[in-house]
Homo-oligomer: A and B are copies of this chain.
């Protein structure tokens, strides 16, 4: 396929984004209208529940001005289309589909986990009830498949490539569900191993970033080898992303993350720093294990106690190990990217986006 990089947006090379914020803005400009159109296909009242969940309206139905989220997943889908020599637009069905599947999982996970807020807003199940959260999650999952199949009838992809894209997304959905199943099972346990934690995070975070990084390329007809490399890039980027998330969940400043102080520790979340600290086996590690095995005071720890626990995790090497793990995964991701031939400007975008994802404060 002839390379059309530089003419993808607006028909001139000048339109190619020059920064990550510009890249994300372009992504939202291309993906939000078809995402809204897909959601508008849902029967009432599911369309309203979905629009609330996406942050487009408030609980009274009044439109809300929002940035529509970070849009990292659809940005990867658009870049992967460009990597295959197609315009960014060819990746749009992939970008829309990953957003739909991501939000299907958020709707169901929030309900299963009993989470009452997400990004400072009441979660959908608390506003519209559990039945609507289940229904709308189910509907978004099927819409994701529909959008990819439509790419073959209206979006310029071949039927075979649309089917490859559906398989890619469906496999990611299965891993998402497996990851959430592990997360739910871990709730009942005092400890998890680093390997279990990585497998869970592979499902909950890496699977969809992996699919996103290849979906646009697959829709644009890329060969399996290129698609595999792009998937590996997304997989390792996802693991790096989650390692950073786990660090911020303990040591991130509340005013930046928007999450409660020591929230992950208070919930006794089985995150990488904790699993790594428990695996270390020294004095701090053993003391941490004792604290986590103690059913007393669960969820009622004081700020001081939680700060002391964070220090134990750090002393047992959990913080340093996770920082190193994030760097390792980031490096492995970039190595996978190097295996795929693509226009320089596209590679630069991928690298900048990976940096943005891994080096962040929230």
Which A residues contact B (CB, under 8 angstroms)? 43, 45-46, 108, 111-112, 130-132, 134-135, 137-139, 141-143, 145-146, 149, 152, 159-160, 162-163, 166-167, 170-171, 173-174, 177-178, 180-182, 184-185
Contacts and interface: CB of A to CB of B under 8 A. Distances in A.
Interface centre among A152, A160, A177 (most CB of B within 10 A): A177
Nearest to A170: B145
B174 A139 contact: yes
B173 A142 contact: yes
B43 A138 contact: no
Contact of A184 (B135, B145, B149, B170): B135
B170 A159 contact: no
A149 B166 CA distance: 9
Contacts of A131: 112, 184
A178 B159 CA distance: 27
Interface centre among A112, A131, A137, A184 (most CB of B within 10 A): A131
18 contacts: A43-B181, A45-B181, A108-B135, A111-B134, A112-B131, A112-B134, A134-B134, A135-B177, A138-B173, A139-B174, A142-B177, A145-B170, A146-B167, A149-B163, A149-B167, A149-B170, A160-B163, A163-B166
Contacts of A152: 163
Contacts of A173: 138, 142
B146 A134 contact: no
Contacts of A134: 108, 111-112, 134
Contacts of A182: 43
Contacts of A170: 142, 145-146, 149
Interface centre among A45, A135, A138, A173 (most CB of B within 10 A): A138
B142 A174 contact: yes
A112 B46 CA distance: 14
A131 B149 CA distance: 30
Interface centre among A132, A142, A184, A185 (most CB of B within 10 A): A142
A226 to B, nearest CB: 19
A138 B141 contact: yes
B139 A112 contact: no
Contacts of A130: 111-112, 130
Contacts of A160: 159-160, 163
A171 B41 CA distance: 12
Contacts of A137: 138
Contacts of A181: 43, 45-46, 135, 139
A156 to B, nearest CB: 16
A41 to B, nearest CB: 9
Contacts of A184: 131-132, 135
A140 to B, nearest CB: 10
Contacts of A145: 145, 166, 170
Given A131-B184, A139-B174, 13 more contacts: A43-B178, A108-B134, A108-B135, A111-B134, A112-B130, A112-B134, A132-B184, A135-B177, A138-B138, A138-B177, A146-B174, A149-B170, A162-B163
A138 B45 CA distance: 21
